[in-house]
Amino acid sequence: MTFNDIFKSSFLESVKEFSVVDTLVGLLFALIIGLFIFLIYKKTFSGVMYSTGFALSLIGLSLVTTLVIMAVTSNVVLSLGMVGALSIVRFRAAIKEPMEIVFLFWAIAAGIVIGAGMIPLAVIGSVIIGIILVVFVNRKVRYTPYILIMNCADDKAEEEALAVIKGAVDKYIVKSKTVTDAGIELTAEIRVKDETTAFVNQVNKVNGVSGATLVAFNGEYMS
């Protein structure tokens, strides 16, 4: 047994099996598509707290997934070991918006497709997905929904307040009404087109209305 035989192993021999050029090309396209996903996420973000860390993780996820798939497709034994290693990983990051799941799967899918060598499919598919998300996510909503809570002393105050609301908003629907000895608490869903909320001041000035509270409603509704 020679000195070279001691260090000779299948691991060292497998190092020569991958192509440096293919690896660099795959990672380059993964970076480009990851940046494209990052820009689409930034453009279509509609939440309140924008997370730069999550946006940058989309780029890293594309690169890491591409690298893993390249290693898996080049060695069957490695693919079995990779499945076992990934099965013990637990991801506990909180998903704040449902759309974040779409971008996570998009980054993973792009990395898988590029790592498998189907770069044109990754490019064309990402462009189509990006266009669809930009068109539908940034679609302007015709109505802005709000919840209005009013405290009325009697039926007359309720009727006058509803008359003011009817003339000031595009549409309103009474959601709940609570009657007690102290008065009437009325909750209504209203839809405003021009973002004007001055009508709340007029409602509060109605005789018998002791308070009016307007709250933005971020739930889903059908127009």
What is the tens place of the pLDDT at every residue in 25-65?
999 999 999 999 999 998 888 766 777 888 888 999 899 88
pTM beyond cutoff 0.85? no
- Of 52, 69, 136, 73, the closest CA to residue 108 belongs to 69
pLDDT, tens digit (0-9, with 9 covering 90-100), for 111-165: 989 988 899 999 999 999 999 998 887 665 556 678 888 888 888 888 888 888 8
* pLDDT in the model for residue 6: 46
- Check whether 222 has a pLDDT greater than 50: no
Beta strands in 106-158 (DSSP E): 144-152
Confidence of residue 7 (pLDDT cuts 50, 70, 90): very low
> For residues 46 and 66, which has the higher predicted lDDT (pLDDT)?
66
Distance CA 116, CA 70 (A): 7
How confident is the model at residue 206, as a pLDDT? 86
Question: What sign does the CA torsion over 36, 115, 65, 103 have?
Answer: positive
CATH topology of domain 144-216: Alpha-Beta Plaits (3.30.70)
Domain extent listing, the chain: 3-137, 144-216
Q: Give the pLDDT of residue 128.
A: 95
Task: Tell me which of 14 and 169 has the higher pLDDT.
Answer: 169
| Pairing assessment for the beta strands 183-192 and 209-216 based on DSSP bridges | unpaired
209-216 sheet: strands from edge to edge: 171-180, 183-192, 144-152, 209-216
